[in-house]
Structure 1
Amino acid sequence: MTATEPIAGVGARGELAAVATGISKIYGTGETRVLALDDVSVGFRRAEYTAIMGPSGSGKSTLMHCMAGLDSISTGSVRLGDVELSSLDDKKLTLLRREKIGFVFQAFNLLPTLTALENITLPMDIAGVKPDQAWLDHVIETVDLRDRLKHRPSELSGGQQQRVACARALASRPEIIFADEPTGNLDSRSGAEVLGFLRASVRESGQTIVMVTHDPNAASYADRVLFLADGRIVDEMLDPTSDLVLERMKRFDATRTT
């Protein structure tokens, strides 16, 4: 497979939620020039859970940020549905992120003065959009926090706080959710709660999720894993298990030490 050859998801079965074609990302110039992404093409199908893995500095977070419109690309094309991101000005890009994209990050990013429910509905409140109550109830049941909705973040466990953050990302029914190390600050039990919720949102609600992680166990919850190295997609694994992912990651370590 060449760097410019689209991998599974582009031209494959299923409708695409997002697609990148030949994208590169360069930071700096001259001696400080860094090629973070090198001619990457990839697609993400609707109702699919994709994990992105690779060594530190491989470009995995850069890829996610470019796909989500949080960072610009140097060359190539990124489309969300039928919208080309480079065609949007800052105002339209902000509106698209608000309406079409959900975000879950390692830091929960909850407002401490708001209740769990207020944190969940905050993006819609800011946008002046009334929640779909039936969908909101479904999301709340899925995260299993019905009896904690009036609690503030300080009164919730780490796993509960991250589930609130996940619910906030889902509440507006975005076309795609990007999650950057969503279990990085959690213990194993809380992490399993959040990963189980994300998995359920794909299977039961048809959500599309792209997750950056360094954890083979977290990656095993996904439908497929993309492996990056030096800014390129170098491998793909379908129906991953934690053992298979761990073995693949060990090969990265072996390559870097030889």
Structure 2
Amino acid sequence: MASTAYSPHFVGEPAPDAAARATDLTKIYGEGDTRVTALDQVSVAFGRGHFTAIMGPSGSGKSTLMHCLAGLDSITSGSAMLGDTELAGLKDKHLTKLRRDRISFVFQAFNLLPTLDALENITLPMDIAGQKPDKEWLDRVIATVGLSGRLKHRPAQLSGGQQQRVAVARALASRPEIVFADEPTGNLDSRSGAEVLNFLRTSVTELGQTVVMVTHDASAAAYADRVVFLADGRIVEDMPSPTADRVLDRMKGFEAAGRSRR
């Protein structure tokens, strides 16, 4: 599939309604002989209430892009914004507050505390921040991810898929502006992975959540509204309404291009 001309705006979405955006974002690691350009003037916006997947070969910059937009990594030049807040130049204290109050994360590792039950793990970030959960919203999230009968179970009493559902519920419970998911099904079998992806999809469709997911899995990407492809630190394609077959064909194209350069 040929690369398409790329616009930094979300397909069909006015630019001001972006939950997060990068403009000419560049990230460089190291200096001299060890200098690596992980992101090379990337411009992209993620519309509110949409599910976007970020894909690309290993080393393409997909996780770096997510980390820069989430305030987990600094940027070298350009702009990274969460809503109308510019992240570059924010002090650590303000970044910590921003991540706590406006962003949630789902990682490949479930990151649950073994001594807490499922409900306590879900509400833990709000408890630490001294916030009271919105009970109606919390109940809705728990029902959405199918955990109503497992709330008193500790992680060791739950399957891997159930533990990741707890992690997804934890990410949604505080009603963040955006959820960043980094390979959220990487430690799961195909059935459990499909369950978690369905919950993320449902959180967007029924709860109005914004989800940005880094993945290498074409089947996972097909749950998204859109796939953004990176290669060598640049966005090379923006695919709306992806299917697993179309995504897989695009990824095979990357592999073929990589072999031809060797």
TM-score by length of 2: 0.95
Deviation at residue 13 of structure 1 after TM alignment = 2.8
* 1:151 equivalenced with 2:166 (yes/no): no
Which residue is 2:14 aligned to? 13
Identity of paired residues, percent? Answer: 72
One-letter amino acid of the counterpart of residue 164, structure 2: Q
Q: Distance in 2 between matches of 1:193 and 1:249?
A: 24
Could you tell me whether the CA contact under 8 Å between 1:16 and 1:44 is conserved in 2?
A: yes
* 1:255 equivalenced with 2:257 (yes/no): yes
One-letter amino acid of the counterpart of residue 199, structure 2: F
Could you tell me whether the CA contact under 8 Å between 1:10 and 1:19 is conserved in 2?
A: no
Could you tell me whether the CA contact under 8 Å between 1:58 and 1:231 is conserved in 2?
A: yes
Question: Structure 1: 5+ residue runs without aligned partners?
Answer: none
Any residues of structure 2 matched to 1:63-102 within 5 Å, and which? 63-102=65-104
Which residue is 1:222 aligned to? 224
Deviation at residue 141 of structure 1 after TM alignment = 0.3
Question: Structure 2: 5+ residue runs without aligned partners?
Answer: none
Q: Distance in 1 between matches of 2:106 and 2:45?
A: 20
Q: Distance in 2 between matches of 1:65 and 1:12?
A: 23
- Greater than 3 Å deviation, 4+ residue runs: none
* 1:164 equivalenced with 2:170 (yes/no): no
One-letter amino acid of the counterpart of residue 14, structure 2: R
Matching residue within 237, 241, 249 for 2:239: 237
Q: Distance in 1 between matches of 2:144 and 2:11?
A: 31
Q: Comparing 152-161 with 83-92, which one deviates more in the overlay?
A: 83-92
SS state of the match for residue 110, structure 1? coil
Which residue is 1:180 aligned to? 182
Q: Distance in 2 between matches of 1:77 and 1:10?
A: 20
Which residue is 2:28 aligned to? 26
Quote the RMSD (CA, aligned, Å): 1.5
Deviation at residue 236 of structure 1 after TM alignment = 1.1
Q: Distance in 2 between matches of 1:145 and 1:2?
A: 42
Could you tell me whether the CA contact under 8 Å between 2:4 and 2:237 is conserved in 1?
A: no
SS state of the match for residue 69, structure 1? coil
One-letter amino acid of the counterpart of residue 256, structure 1: G
Any residues of structure 2 matched to 1:171-210 within 5 Å, and which? 171-210=173-212
The number of residue pairs the alignment matches comes to 257
Distance 1:53 1:218, change over 3 A: same
Any residues of structure 2 matched to 1:42-81 within 5 Å, and which? 42-81=44-83
Q: Distance in 2 between matches of 1:205 and 1:145?
A: 16
Q: Distance in 2 between matches of 1:68 and 1:252?
A: 26
Q: Distance in 2 between matches of 1:42 and 1:137?
A: 34
Deviation at residue 86 of structure 1 after TM alignment = 1.5
Q: Distance in 1 between matches of 2:141 and 2:122?
A: 10
SS state of the match for residue 131, structure 2? coil
Q: Distance in 2 between matches of 1:77 and 1:55?
A: 24
Could you tell me whether the CA contact under 8 Å between 2:52 and 2:211 is conserved in 1?
A: yes
Could you tell me whether the CA contact under 8 Å between 1:10 and 1:16 is conserved in 2?
A: no
